[in-house]
């Protein structure tokens, strides 16, 4: 595939959080494994779009014949890092019928009456789907920790609960890909500044974005802990440099394609007699 | 807009079901209002995709500022008529975050324990969204009538219930567009034949498709009754010739654009002091 010609190494290997990972020492502007510029990246993204769409359709087709497998992409990031752009430009190339998107905002009073995984469990994608979590149960150990919405003991308990929840999903056919889009403090400032400078972007800005920004280092520490406690072989974390939007999109697309290619998909065999149905149809 | 140059008349006017409408006399292969060929149609669709995406983003932006409005596209058709293609090629150009898709299949035992609108009401799109129903509550007066799943009295009652339900949605900010994709019996035969001829399409075929096909005239009569009983000024039906997929997609896209353009959308004004936030951000 020509889109592969630019990749000098598998981004899944380069971006996966492993032992000794340190967020503070991880770049936000590099393009690990991709030996090309923005134009090459956009070309590779367009080619990958067709590959991803066909793989998803095969996953969906197999689910119609009883295959229970599905993919779950978890997206976490600081504001403006580009979660929405991933949904629009990577998932947007997949048939909407094969994508199950869930955005987790501030919990409602009803949601707060339940354990923190209650609302998340309900949004696990169906068989044959690619589910996308725009924020997730990780908010409960990120803003939950930074803003002290829960006690330290409860936060500790939650890491375990998350690992058990994800192990259960994995055991029942879900391939989990957890992505943190990693931008720099300066890049966020530039992006928020642009939102304030353009009247067609004002609706995307919220004064609370600046409040969270002022806690940047606390969030970085909370993410570091998340990686240490919840990066597991079955549900790995990938930290994707995201100052350059084109690279982040391409890398996430590649992670999805990798995951689907590893599932040994194919068009399912008919579970009816084709010749018999052809005869019935001809006579109809 | 150059895409408009091919339209000689507003398809919303040409395709809307009005008094005296007769499905049996309505063509399946024409391209009402569009004076161009397939290539022109595809070009117009690509241009319309950007228009539709921006309008939907404005609708979404306004919902963030409290606007309650939303759009609901109801898709009904015989098998193979192209509902899935509308979702993929028309809705696929809109940001996935702005689309709420609901496919209604054979009711589950739990759904059957409730009135027929129970599962439908739950899927009404949120503010700022374009909802798409792939099949809908109309199945309950289509297959419901043809297969006699309900008594004639119950079917009669349902038309009224549907009109009241849709009036309630309209009164609370929903613009409803109901589309029947209209294909010929021969075209369906050709499309089913192709599915059986290609092993990568076998999964899309179901022997039950032929069973339903054998009841073609009964379905046509049931659709005719649906139009007579449920085409209302606030929730109109449009019958879209669908033997040519490119025309059907273009026409439905046009109906959506028309509806959104009629909603007087614009980028919402900031509900915060922009200069104050710029100062806070600069200092952060």
Position B5 scores a pLDDT of 82
Q: How many CA atoms lie within 13 A of A187 on its CB side?
A: 18
- pLDDT at A112 (0 to 100): 94
- Average pLDDT rounded to a whole number, residues A143-170: 97
Indicate whether B1 pLDDT > 60: no
Is the confidence at residue A4, as pLDDT, over 80?
no
| pLDDT for the residue numbered A95 | 94
CB contacts < 8 A (A, B)? 116
Inter-chain touch B268–A64, beta carbons under 8 Å: no
The pLDDT of residue A2 is: 60
Inter-chain CB proximity B189 and A281 less than 8 Å: yes
Residue A230 has pLDDT above 70, yes or no: yes
Provide the mean pLDDT of chain A.
96
Task: Tell me what the mean pLDDT of segment A267-283 comes to.
Answer: 96
Q: Give A 181-240 residues with CB within 8 A of chain B.
A: 189, 192-193, 196, 199-200, 202-207, 210, 213-214
Q: Which of A61, A202, A272 shows the shortest C-beta gap to B270?
A: A202
Tell me, rounded to whole angstroms, the distance of Cα A233 from its chain centroid: 17
Alpha-carbon A68 to chain mean position:
20
pLDDT digits (tens, 9 = 90+) for B129-160: 999 999 999 999 999 999 999 999 999 999 99
Residues of chain B in contact with residue A282, where contact means CB-CB under 8 angstroms, are 193
Is pLDDT at B16 greater than 80 in this prediction? yes
Chain B residues within an 8 Å CB radius of A196: 274, 277-278, 281
Closest-approach residue (CA) in chain B for A59: B203
Instruction: Examine the pLDDT at A3 and tell me if it is beyond 80.
Output: no
Report yes or no: B105 at the A interface, CB cutoff 8 Å: no
Chain A residue numbers touching B213 (CB-CB < 8 A)? 281, 284
pLDDT band at B78 (very low <50, low <70, confident <90, very high): very high
A4 pairs with which residues across the strands?
none
Give the chain A residue nearest B98 (alpha carbons). Answer: A88
Quote ipTM for the complex.
0.91
Q: Which homologous superfamily does the CATH classification assign to the domain defined by B2-283? A: P-loop containing nucleotide triphosphate hydrolases (3.40.50.300)
pLDDT digits (tens, 9 = 90+) for B231-278: 999 999 999 999 999 999 999 999 999 999 999 999 999 999 999 999
- The chain B residue lying nearest A88, using CA atoms, is B95
For range A57-74, the mean pLDDT: 96
Of A96, A268, A272, the CB nearest to B96: A96
pLDDT digits (tens, 9 = 90+) for A98-140: 999 999 999 999 999 999 999 999 999 999 999 999 999 999 9
* Residue B45, pLDDT score: 96
Q: How confident is the model at residue B2 (pLDDT cuts 50, 70, 90)?
A: low
CB spacing of B61 vs A203 below 8 angstroms: yes
Backbone angles phi, psi at B110, to 5 degrees: -65, -45
- Helix or strand holding residue A71 (H, E): strand A70-77
Nearest-CA distance from B102 to chain A in Å? Answer: 9
pLDDT value at residue A25: 96
Contact between chains at B88 and A95 (C-beta distance less than 8 A) = yes
Q: Do B281 and A134 touch (CB under 8 A)?
A: no
The mean pLDDT of A48-55, rounded to a whole number, is 96
Domain range annotation of chain B: 2-283
Q: Do B96 and A101 touch (CB under 8 A)?
A: yes
């Amino acid at each position: 595939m020509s889109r592969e010609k630019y990749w000098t190494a598998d981004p899944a290997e380069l971006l996966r959080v492993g032992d000794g990972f340190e967020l503070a020492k991880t770049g936000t502007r590099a393009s690990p494994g991709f030996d090309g510029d923005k134009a090459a990246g956009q070309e590779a993204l367009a080619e990958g779009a067709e590959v991803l769409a066909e793989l998803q359709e095969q996953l969906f087709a197999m689910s119609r014949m009883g295959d229970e497998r599905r993919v779950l992409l978890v997206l976490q990031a600081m504001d403006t890092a580009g979660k929405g752009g991933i949904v629009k430009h990577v998932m947007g190339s997949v048939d909407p019928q094969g994508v199950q998107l869930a955005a987790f905002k501030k919990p409602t009073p009803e949601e707060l009456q339940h354990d923190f995984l209650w609302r998340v469990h309900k949004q696990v994608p169906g068989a044959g789907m690619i589910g996308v979590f725009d924020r997730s149960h990780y908010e409960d150990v990120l803003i939950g920790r930074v803003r002290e919405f829960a006690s330290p003991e409860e936060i500790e308990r939650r890491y375990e609960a998350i690992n058990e929840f994800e192990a259960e999903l994995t055991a029942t056919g879900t391939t989990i890909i957890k992505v943190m889009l990693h931008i720099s403090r300066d890049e966020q400032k530039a992006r928020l500044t642009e939102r304030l400078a353009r009247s067609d972007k004002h609706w995307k800005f919220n004064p609370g974005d600046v409040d969270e920004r002022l806690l940047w280092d606390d969030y970085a520490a909370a993410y570091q802990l998340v990686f240490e406690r919840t990066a597991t072989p079955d549900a790995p974390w990938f930290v994707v440099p995201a100052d350059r939007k084109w690279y982040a999109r391409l890398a996430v697309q590649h992670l999805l394609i990798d995951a689907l290619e590893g599932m040994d998909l194919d068009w399912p065999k008919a579970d009816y007699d084709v010749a018999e149905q052809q005869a019935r149809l001809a006579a109809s």
